[in-house]
Structure formats: C-alpha cells, structure tokens
Structure 1
C-alpha cells in the first residue's frame, strides 16, 4: 500500500449527545497531509456533526483530538483557524456587499492600521498574490463586490480565505452543490494544487462521481456511528459504497420504470415566452400528463428563470403560459396554484420552507391559497401532515417541531408534501435532490415516477445528468436563455446533453456527423 505521508489530524472516540439523542458516538477519524479524505453517509448520519467538532463550531461530549502530532482542544472556530483548520460551509460565511479582498482579510488583525483602519490597498495586493496561486488573478478582481461573482468564484474566494490563514487542513461541505460540471472541475484543480502543498482536505459530499474522482480515502458514518473507516478509494465500488451508507443493496438506484395507462395529453403549453431583460428568448414547449420532462443545462443557462416565470414567481415581458387550456396570469403564483400548477423551488431553505415554523404549518400552508381565508381546521392539518409523512417516509419527531429540526432530505420531502397537498396537475421540481443523501434520493425518484404514473405532469430541473437520464421521459437542453435541443430520453446521453449545453445549436453539426458515423 502506498505511503500516505505525515499524519495531520487524529480524532479518537468523538461523541456528541444532545440530551438523549446521540448525533455522534465513539467515532475515530484521521487525515494525512496532502490527501482528500471523503466523509459520507445519509442525512443525519453525523457528517456535519463530526466536521463541526473538528472545526470548533460544536463542543464534543467525549473524545480527543491531535493536530500535527500534538493534543489539542478546539473550543471555537477562531482557535481552529489559529491552529490551521478551516471549514468552508454550504452557506458561505461572506458579506456580499463587501469586496473580495475585504471578505478575505476582515478577520486579520494585521490588516488594520493602528488597530482601527482597514488597509484596503494592502488587502487587495495580498489577495491578488493569493489568487495567483490558483491562476485566478485574471478572472477575479480583488476590488470587485463579492455579489458580482459567480457562485463558483465565491467558492474559490472561500477557499482563498482559508489559505490566507495558512490553513493546513480545509473541510469542504458540499462544495459543488451549486456548481456546473465545468466549475466543479476548476475547483478540483484548486484542490489538487493545494494537495501538492501538503494541505489536507475533508470532503463532505453526496455526489459519487466526485468521490471517485478526487478522493484518496473514504469514511462512512451511519446513524452517528462509524461503519467504514478510512478505506482506500481504489478498493471501493459504487455498489459497496451504497451498501456501507444505507446498510442494504440498492440494485436499481433510479427505480423501475412505472407503467401507466394514462393518455399522454398535453397539459402545459408555453408559447414564445421572453423576459428577464431579454435573457429568456422566445421559449416555447409543451409538457404532457403522465410524463416526466427534464430540463438540463449549465449553471446560468436559464432553467430556473424559465420555471419561475412559468409558475408566476417572476413576471415576463411577452408570451403566454396555458394550463389545461387556461391562460395563466403572469407574475401571479396564487393564480398558478389555483389552477393546478405548483413549484418546489431550488433553494428549499430560503424559499421552500419557513424554517422557524412548525412542520404542520410548513406542510399545509400552500393549501391555504386554494381556500377562502387562510386558516384550516387543526384536525385537517394534523391528518394531512401525518398522511404526507407516511407517504414520503419522512423522519419527523413531533409535528410541531420547527422545519429547521429536520435533515436536508427530510426537509425536501416536506417541500414536496406541501405542494402535493394542493393536488396539482403540473408539479415543477427544481434540483429535487440537491444536497440530500442517496436513500432520500431513491425515495424521491420513486415518488416522482409514481406521480407521473398516476397522470400528473412532472417537470424536473436538474444539474445531475444521471438523474435526468434515470427518471425522465424527455429532456429539453437550455443554453443562454434558450431551449437549444429537445430529445426523447431514448436518444439522450450525457455526452449529447453536454454538447448542446456547452455549444448550443452549434452542436447540431457535430451531432449529425457523429450520427452519420454511427
């Protein structure tokens, strides 16, 4: 076995109890210099808890840590940073209206003249030097407002911030959740460059392809306990990894094709839709009952913008949306819901859920839009909440617990439950499985297929091409605010979809040449 180099982190017997709940129990974990150690498991398995204990965000109930060969106690993130441990979370710890340089160096005391005045010139100069390490000094301006950067560039800034503290170890929590494949590859190159400088990484992700591409070893947690300790990636297969995570075989991850006898009649028609200041350009398409229609494309292609316009969350300049022959009022979600169009948005935390309200309120409040007045009988709400939890196999405690109390996968099931209670004719789901574990994904795929089999029209927006190919009947590919290709799923492949997503209609020539060769 290849030597791993110098041990950087050693965690022994790490446990975290919240009253009677054991979030983490007697877990051992280690990390070597210059390696990527993946940390996987279902939502609620303990991945985030272990990461937060190492980063000083949470305090362990039991266990001990060694860093760089010395015993350490890490009570706060500030202590972790001083040691050389940084964590980049899904929700960036950044200030959008400030510049790149300010975001990177605000926490550095040496950047303040006389301890009071922030040295903007020095911060921008040193930011530029740091960006050069990643060949990003030409594409990211240290003086630019962070809000003007793409999500991928903001992710790079978060890593640069960690490097500015001379971090020897960086924890990345779902780093590619909002990135296109191209942007993810740029991030991976940054990770590879830092590995050469002997920086160690803990990578928390649900994406199997990334695990096998970038990781050296993998640890799997299940129900707060260690089930696979630091296995070399070359010894793992996708099936053995699934088995470790969920404790059982999952032969067909996307589920069997569900046969239906529903007449696939047109239910949704979009005609010549233009909007968002000219970004959405003359878009027309139809979607049918009993089918799942997928929308693919790179980040920024316009998929979410199109769906928000169709649903009425955003207005548009011209064109029309028809649901079962009825012209829907633009810019009016209430009208859309009334006539049977629902949309589970991409960002479940800020748009899909009211995290501080109860599960019963989160499950039932969309249904109130269809009623006269806003109050439903409490018995009806309770029955609906329990019925949907059983249908989705949602792991809930008390129906009066807050939405924030659930794991990501269970939050997503609440979002879908909320919209299904409106009894929609058309259900739009934007990134339905982003940031959730493999078992919850399989549950959601089964539910979407069953909904289509029952006669519902389902529209899925997804950046995961295997997901599109695994559950959809047809796929629309978007680029720069246009639909550039419509394919039956039998004609589609990852390569063809990516060609149109990257090149737009220019891919037609390549596509026809390849077809002729075949």
Structure 2
C-alpha cells in the first residue's frame, strides 16, 4: 500500500457517466471513477475493457461523447493533451509517444518546447539528473543519447521521467511496468510513494495483480466499457475476487504448470545450441541450449542483453563471434528471412515498432510471415483460412475483426494477432520476447496454455521476460543474463523471484557488492563470495578469487546442495568470526536490504595454514562496504 489515507480526502478527479464510441465499437458505456489526492488508485480490467480509452479522455488525447469530468471540483473539458497538462494532468503512455531522433534529455522535456521563452539546458539537465537518481539510473541512461538507441524498457523509463518532470497534480500510469524487472518496478514504486506523500493523485493501470496489491489504495474495475467496481479499498479485496470482476470468471492457475515428468516430445538433441555468442555492444558472451519440447527462459535486468541476444538469433543484429547450431547444423542468419526459412518464429519486444504494420488490416498482419515464405502466385491466404479461424477462436478473437485496421484493437488483442501469426507458421523454434506485455490476466492464461500446448507438441520455445514470476511460472529452465553474459543456468523449480533477481544483480545492479568482494580477495587473498542458503541448497550469486584461493565447492552462478560445499562448519555456525576447518578458515556475515529483507551472506575463505587477519578488520570492510548502496539496487522490496 502506498500510504495510510486521511479521514478527509480531497477528490482530485471525478468522472460521471462517461461514454465513448469508435464507429461501431462502444468503448465506454457510462463509466464512473473517483480519485483522491494523496492516493494510488488502480484502474484495472481485461484488454478492451476501456481503461486506455478512459485514460486518454482524462488526459486530453480524446474527447468523450458525453459525460462529466471534474478536476478538484471544477468541471473540465480538454480539447488537447496540452490543455490537460496545463490543468495539471499528465499520462505515462503504455505505447511510448517519444521522438526517436531526439536525445533522452530533449524527450524528457518535450512538453517544454511549446513554452514561451528560452530553455535553460543546463538547468534542465540538472533536474533530469535528479530524476534519474531517484530511479537509480544515473550513469545507465545518458542524457545525450538518442532515444532510438534505447531498449523498450529504457524508453518506458524516459516516458515516466517526462511525466514526472511536468510536476502534475494527477498522473496516470498506463502499464508503466510492462517491460520492467523487479528492481526497476521497486524503484518506480519508491518514487510513486514519494509523490503520494507530496499530495499527488496517481492512477495506476496494470495487469499485474501483485503490483496492484502492493502499491494501490483503492481499485476501480472496468469490464466491457462499464464500471463493475468503483473505488473499492484494496485491502478489502482478494486476488481471486479481482480476477472475477475483471474477466467474469474464475481463473485457477494462470501458468498451467506441467507435471515434473518431461513430456513425451521432450529430449533428444538440442534444437538450438548457442556458444559464446557476441553481438556488440550489448551481447558479449552468451551460451545456452534449448531442446525439443522445452521452454527456456532468458531473464535479466535492463541492459543485460536479453532482447539483443534473441534479435541476433533472428538475423536482426550482426553476430560478431560465437557458434550457433540449429537442429545439428551450423546456423548464422544475416537477415530475418534466413531465420524464418530455417524454421524460427519471433515475437519482438516492441509490437508497435517491430511486430506490426500499422496501416495493414488484422488479416494482413496475421499472415505477414506467411508472405515471406510464400513462393507461388498471389497471396495464398486461402490455404490458411480454416487453421486461422480455429486459432482465432482459441485466442478469443472474433472473425469479424479480420478486415479491421490493426490499430483499432487493444494492445492485448494486437499481441494475440502477433502470436497467432507465428503459430500458423509452425516453427521448430519459437522466440517470444515479452509475450504478455500489456496483456490482461485472462489473455495471459490463454497465451500460457498455448505455449504449453506448443511445447508438448515438440516445439522448442525461447522466452524472454522482465516478469520474473512469469519466467519461473512458465519455463522449464532459466538462463540469467547480466551485462551481456550468462550468469547461471538453473531449473525453474529451484529458484524464486528473490533469488532470480539476485542472480541478475551481480554485474549490473550489485556493483558495490562485487567491488567489495574484489577488495576482500585482493587484500586478504582467498575467495570472497555472496551466497544465500535455503533448505538444503546453497546459491552463489557472485564470487571473486584472489591469490591462493582454496576450493570451496561452489562458484558464481552455482546452486549446489549445502552438503557439497567444502565449508560445512562455517555454514552451520555463522558466528561472524573465522571458523577453521580442513579447507581453510571462513568468516560469514549477513547482508540486509534497505528494507531489512534478507539478501544472504557475504563470506571470505582463506587457505588453511595462512595467518588469519583481525576479524574486526574483515567485519568492518563487509559491514561498511555495500550497505549504503548495494541492497537497494540489488533487489527491490520483498514479495516481488
């Protein structure tokens, strides 16, 4: 929850009986909404429920057909987004509305370009650096960098910063975390809590239930253009109740987990093998394999190189080094058609820029990949008609939309079309980059079931996702990338969200801890490490070996059973002092996050027979090292 609400709350925004139609589609049918100052208010619903339409009306991008909107007890009717901005309302768009040829700084202050007078770029840069610091992005998002060079998640961060720079009274966040991983989400939530403390009124549109229950105070639910729950206290609602209100039915297990036994189609030689892949500047050294009937996840933080890796595999990026084998044969795509003809399908991260032709109809977009492989005369649409209609029924898409423009569909429905396109191609390997970005829970359940069905039928699936719960829920194995290299390759049932985030952290988000480990190893020799113990298993998130380093039975990225480690007494006692055993002497100290949650242990093991340093000196280095910066960067709050 964001903050306790006062007994008398000021109504910041109120909507009464708002209607909106687009030709034959009735998007809103008399919705109501009430937002207080100093609260985070969730606006939820299935794809096509009217959330984005309502948000665009409130923020001046659209005009309602009828109805009343009141801002701080004054009736308003905005003719443009600039009118709404002047009144104190801004919106963080789900599909970013930025200028690709301008720099990050210019995009953050894009609304300022229409203001009278000269802009002070020095002053704007200083304000922007302060905003970047709040998100922990200082140094990771250079202000002079062209926007076109950024990833989808980085562009979303710029969109958020642009809204915050306006210092609006009402901010609408439309799926702001769709491409964020846990620590970026936590950073955003910290900023949202700060805004609430300053009296801002925030609308949070999201399909991620765990986020809704973590950050919001009240919930309004739209279904099919109508309000089915208005301003219900979040604390009074259970997740199952919210799902039922959103989709009108019960959804038990959205991930539809398969049994522990591998399917009959799994096994045999790998469909895809990747060894030491490099595609500069983001992909430096990545190795993994994915087998027939297997779902392999690629996880990591912003800038880890996940999307760039799969883009290289599909021929969208030049491969610098490495070996790729597809079904036992050497494979090195130069352009995407090479990958398509080799039996690879690809759903990109940014569906608007990479996955759709915006001027085409639904049918034309659906059969786009077919055109690339079709060799005969004409378009060849008819040969796919029956299969296409059956697939549309499975995805819950009406046949009548086939001749509509693709942009008339909601974001979730567009994603279904892109997924259906590649299913029709029957690829041997399907690459999915953020397949459920901006998709409601009902649609996610459908997509997961289809992915499971495809894998059971023998298709190899490579899935990239910023949603760590999704990666764990749908994948069989997970390869974690960090700074362009693979960190670990772990079965999904051996990891949870917290540990996955910490595996992703060592190089790109837990820099202070890595520096501490290097300092310990350099000063005292031996091996310094960051580990976590749970049950009978040890997880090693980072390790640095110095001179005369003893063998401790684990290394960076390893997850052995505790009994396999060579420091059993130190692991059992954890006294905070050196514990001697045949391997050597070890000291272990706990590591805590900025909210007190357990991040594991920092340890140092020295070879047997060496003179031991003063334990107080080692403890001082560990306790004073990463404490101020590392925990809040390495892992954002508990429960995610």
The answer to whether the superposition gives a TM-score over 0.5 is yes
Q: How far has the Cα of 1:456 moved from its partner?
A: 1.2
Change (3 A) 1:421 1:152: closer
Distance (whole Å) between structure 2 residues aligned to residue 355 and residue 418 of structure 1: 15
SS at match of 2:97: coil
Change (3 A) 1:87 1:12: same
SS at match of 1:190: helix
Question: Equivalent residue for 2:584?
Answer: none
SS at match of 1:71: strand
Q: After alignment, is 28-37 or 374-383 more displaced?
A: 374-383
Q: Which of residues 347, 368, 373 is equivalent to 1:370?
A: 373
Question: Equivalent residue for 1:39?
Answer: 43
Structure 2 residue 297 is the aligned partner of structure 1 residue 330:
no
Q: How far has the Cα of 1:221 moved from its partner?
A: 0.4
Are the equivalent residues in 2 in contact too, given 1:40–1:220 (CA < 8 A)? yes
Are the equivalent residues in 2 in contact too, given 1:360–1:385 (CA < 8 A)? no
The within-5 A match list for 1:350-361 is 350-361=353-364
Are the equivalent residues in 1 in contact too, given 2:132–2:138 (CA < 8 A)? no
Change (3 A) 1:361 1:482: same
Question: Equivalent residue for 1:348?
Answer: 351
Mark the runs of 5 or more structure 1 residues left unpaired by the alignment: 114-118
Post-superposition Cα deviations, 1:60-80, rounded to whole Å, max 9, x if no partner, equal 112111111122222221221
Q: After alignment, is 193-202 or 321-330 more displaced?
A: 321-330
SS at match of 1:503: helix
Mark the runs of 5 or more structure 2 residues left unpaired by the alignment: 508-513, 518-528, 540-560, 563-570, 573-640
Q: How far has the Cα of 1:41 moved from its partner?
A: 0.4
Distance (whole Å) between structure 2 residues aligned to residue 8 and residue 468 of structure 1: 38
Post-superposition Cα deviations, 1:232-261, rounded to whole Å, max 9, x if no partner, equal 111122111111111111111212527732
Q: How far has the Cα of 1:406 moved from its partner?
A: 1.8
The within-5 A match list for 1:105-504 is 105=109, 107-108=111-112, 112-113=116-117, 119-120=118-119, 122-126=120-124, 128-129=126-127, 132=130, 135-136=133-134, 139=138, 144-145=144-145, 147=147, 155=156, 158-159=159-160, 161-257=162-258, 260-277=263-280, 279-373=282-376, 375-503=378-506
SS at match of 1:421: helix
Post-superposition Cα deviations, 1:342-388, rounded to whole Å, max 9, x if no partner, equal 21111112211212112222222212333325733342244443233
Cα RMSD (Å) of the superposition? Answer: 2.9
Bigger relative contact order, structure 1 or 2, given CA contacts below 8 A and separation 6+?
Answer: 1
Change (3 A) 1:366 1:107: closer
Are the equivalent residues in 1 in contact too, given 2:160–2:176 (CA < 8 A)? no
Q: Which of residues 84, 92, 99 is equivalent to 2:96?
A: 92
Q: How far has the Cα of 1:32 moved from its partner?
A: 0.8
SS at match of 1:192: helix
Q: Which of residues 61, 69, 76 is equivalent to 1:72?
A: 76
Q: How far has the Cα of 1:175 moved from its partner?
A: 1.1
Are the equivalent residues in 1 in contact too, given 2:55–2:172 (CA < 8 A)? yes
Post-superposition Cα deviations, 1:205-233, rounded to whole Å, max 9, x if no partner, equal 11112211211111010000111111111
Distance (whole Å) between structure 2 residues aligned to residue 323 and residue 301 of structure 1: 24
Q: Which of residues 11, 14, 20 is equivalent to 1:16?
A: 20
Q: How far has the Cα of 1:204 moved from its partner?
A: 0.9
Post-superposition Cα deviations, 1:107-146, rounded to whole Å, max 9, x if no partner, equal 4489544xxxxx24x2431553476478559937996345
Q: How far has the Cα of 1:18 moved from its partner?
A: 2.6
SS at match of 1:86: strand
Distance (whole Å) between structure 1 residues aligned to residue 164 and residue 382 of structure 2: 54
Are the equivalent residues in 2 in contact too, given 1:206–1:438 (CA < 8 A)? yes
Change (3 A) 1:449 1:71: same
Structure 2 residue 32 is the aligned partner of structure 1 residue 48:
no
Q: After alignment, is 459-468 or 126-135 more displaced?
A: 126-135
**Number of paired residues?**
512
Q: How far has the Cα of 1:450 moved from its partner?
A: 0.6
Question: Equivalent residue for 2:609?
Answer: none
Q: How far has the Cα of 1:333 moved from its partner?
A: 2.5
Are the equivalent residues in 2 in contact too, given 1:271–1:319 (CA < 8 A)? yes
Which of structures 1 and 2 has the bigger CA Rg?
A: 2
Name the TM-score, length of structure 2 as normaliser. Answer: 0.74
Structure 2 residue 86 is the aligned partner of structure 1 residue 82:
yes
Are the equivalent residues in 2 in contact too, given 1:396–1:406 (CA < 8 A)? no
Name the TM-score, length of structure 1 as normaliser. Answer: 0.90
Are the equivalent residues in 1 in contact too, given 2:283–2:309 (CA < 8 A)? yes
Change (3 A) 1:424 1:102: closer
Are the equivalent residues in 1 in contact too, given 2:125–2:143 (CA < 8 A)? no
Q: After alignment, is 462-471 or 309-318 more displaced?
A: 309-318
Q: How far has the Cα of 1:168 moved from its partner?
A: 1.0
Structure 2 residue 16 is the aligned partner of structure 1 residue 6:
no
Are the equivalent residues in 2 in contact too, given 1:128–1:142 (CA < 8 A)? no
Q: After alignment, is 488-497 or 122-131 more displaced?
A: 122-131
Q: After alignment, is 40-49 or 280-289 more displaced?
A: 280-289
Question: Equivalent residue for 1:116?
Answer: none
Are the equivalent residues in 1 in contact too, given 2:129–2:138 (CA < 8 A)? no
